[in-house]
Structure 1
Amino acid sequence: MHEPEALPGGPIAFQGAPGAYSDLACRTVFPGRETLPCTSFEDTFAAVVEARAALAMIPIENSSAGRVADIHHLLPESGLHIIGEHFQRIRHQLLAPAGATLESLSLVRSHEQALSQCRKFLLERRLSPVVHADTAGAAAEVAALGDPTQAAIASSLAANTYGLETLLPDVQDAAHNTTRFIVMAREPRDPEPDAGPAITSFVFRVRSVPASLYKALGGFATNGVNITKLESYIIDDAFTAAQFYADIEGHPEQRLVRLALEELGFFSREVKILGVYPASTFRQQDD
């Protein structure tokens, strides 16, 4: 994502401590802007709603570890709109205090997703993983402890932020390790239908009748609209009601997309569009 000229000025909110990968994503997309660390995703959304931040940078899925927990539950109720996306290559660094060596380590702290993305590395080195709330927070704790037996898996930005040494770079198991972020704002910024490739994100609930999901999604097939992401999650304690999150290629004002969404609406109890925004050029790499 490249920063449009007319975006509101102000800090970019993210979940995590300074030096987190979300912080790095903010600085990559919005260089020169102040970043605002928040303790939770709810706090991150609230910072934008309350105008303490102009935008929010939210991780939504990772190529190795899958979707980010809780995000799909929180997005529909955030009161914000998706206005862009950014794909960030994740290069995990093994960080430790001065004096530590690979041989002295026994324990590694990091966020559960980062640990899962380095699972093979940790097993091969026989290092015990310890889950932390976020990668940068783990780096801060390792720096404060100064224990040569403990390290953190975090970003190069975290190494600079907390004065840690990089014992090994790029310790992720998969070379393609990439996190998709979405950028959220108080107001929607729908691009023009003919402005270029677009993504439409929405949530929906199907009616409780046989084959309702099949029928609801049939319009996308018959109209040639590509669904790039579809996930379901339970939204009630009785495990009887499911909500679906979807990303599709195209703009709602384009004829075929409009017809597909109309058919979806006919077979659904509720359809809520979360955002219409330009598709990242990252998506063109496999074309």
Structure 2
Amino acid sequence: MSLSSAVKGARLAAGLSQSDLAKRLGVTQSTIALWETGKTAPKRSMMPKLAAALRVTVLDLEHGTGAFTGALGSVSYFQEGHRTMSTPSPTAIVNPAQDNPVIAFQGVLGAYSHLAARGAFPAMEPLPCPTFQDAFAAVEEGRAGLAMIPIENSLGGRVADIHHLLPESNLFIIGEYFQPVHHCLLVPKGGSFETVKEARSHEQALAQCRNTLRELKIKPVIAADTAGAAQDVAKLNDPSIAAIASTLAAETYGLDILRPRIEDRIGNVTRFIVMSRTRIEPDPRSGPCLTSFVFTVRSVPASLYKSLGGFATNGVNMIKLESYISVGDDSRARFYAEIEGHPADKSVDQAMEELQFFTTKIKLLGTYRQADYRAEE
């Protein structure tokens, strides 16, 4: 459950309007609205006051406990009028790899990619890989049935290299999964705030915990990745050296969690895509779908503008459009796009047909169910 959903659910359960809550906190109603839509998040210093106003705990809001009870009764995720969304199932992703229950990911055991793989497919065996290319290759060569690949982060933006690997691979996107990123300060047995002098982690993780580390007077030290740092700290067994990594890394390497959730900003989420050798598309009647594809436009004036016109005229919502340079196409710009809808939908079919008139290459990467996380937002 996201922080935005938790705030809204607790407010409704407390019988408060956005205006009522804003008055209690000394902020504007628009600030509450931005929090509840996830466009901004409350500052950490505001969290205790917010929790008190909603008659819940800070942990209730940050960890997103399933339901809040108050003047309106039980509110699960959110309830507005007669519209109620129940708790999502652990995974809405169809697994076509039943005969090969291995899932590959980049990194070592305990990485956030491992955490996402376990969350989406708890019964599958994890296969850590040194690089993204190795994770793709593991599925292409049959050593793994699926791959869990990060594609973008809410704070750090898109993940480098993935857009170059997708069109060159023989894999298909069959699902998406959103993994909240909660950084923890991990120490070996005997470590404490008095003994810890430095914390090792990936550069981005350190940047996301900069203020907290400064308050604790802990020196940040850059490592290759979060779980790798935890692995090294466990081997060193030095109470003066800590790691910033996931709860799974602590579990994997036998480290203690000295302090959970040390990130400076709440709302850090990584979106993953699930890759398979088998192309599998959901029934278009089964629920909201997304379709991902890459294309290269013709070298004529306004070609991108014209290529996108078909989506507008056919009422197809494009939720992502990113450009990158493809060396293999004489350094021409390629575009990665995601749209709402299924190729079986008439509007999507017509839009894709119009796209062909203004492009030199189109590759459909996959059609898959939208994650329940999107509906929460």
Query: Does 190-199 or 231-240 show the bigger shift?
Result: 231-240
What are the superposed Cα offsets for residues 38-79 of structure 1, whole Å, 9 maximum, x if unpaired? 111111111111111111111111111111111111111121
Alpha-carbon distance between aligned partners in 2 of 1:119 and 1:8, rounded to the nearest angstrom: 43
Alpha-carbon distance between aligned partners in 1 of 2:145 and 2:362, rounded to the nearest angstrom: 27
In structure 2, relative to structure 1, the CA distance for the partners of 1:237 and 1:102 (3 Å cut) is farther
Map of 2:365 onto structure 1: 274
Aligned partners of 1:64 and 1:174 also within 8 Å:
no
Map of 2:299 onto structure 1: 208
Map of 1:217 onto structure 2: 308
Please say if 1:4 is aligned against 2:94.
yes
Larger radius of gyration: 2
Please say if 1:36 is aligned against 2:127.
yes
Alpha-carbon distance between aligned partners in 2 of 1:74 and 1:5, rounded to the nearest angstrom: 22
Please say if 1:26 is aligned against 2:120.
no
Offset of 1:112 from its aligned partner?
3.0
TM-score, structure 2 as length reference: 0.71
What are the superposed Cα offsets for residues 124-152 of structure 1, whole Å, 9 maximum, x if unpaired? 44544333332111100111112233221
TM-score, structure 1 as length reference: 0.93
Map of 2:141 onto structure 1: 50
RMSD: 2.0
Map of 1:175 onto structure 2: 266
What are the superposed Cα offsets for residues 164-217 of structure 1, whole Å, 9 maximum, x if unpaired? 111110112222111111111101101122221101011111122222211111
Aligned partners of 2:152 and 2:271 also within 8 Å:
yes
Structure scoring higher RCO (CA < 8 A, sep ≥ 6) equals 1
Among 153, 161, 174, the residue aligned to 1:83: 174
Alpha-carbon distance between aligned partners in 2 of 1:237 and 1:280, rounded to the nearest angstrom: 33
Alpha-carbon distance between aligned partners in 2 of 1:117 and 1:199, rounded to the nearest angstrom: 30
In structure 2, relative to structure 1, the CA distance for the partners of 1:128 and 1:203 (3 Å cut) is farther
Map of 2:43 onto structure 1: none
In structure 2, relative to structure 1, the CA distance for the partners of 1:3 and 1:36 (3 Å cut) is same
Amino acid of the structure 2 residue aligned with 1:180: R
Gaps of 5+ in 2: 1-90
Match of 2:116, SS state, is helix
Gaps of 5+ in 1: none
- Number of residue pairs the alignment of both structures matches: 286
Aligned partners of 1:65 and 1:117 also within 8 Å:
no
Identical counterparts, % of pairs: 58
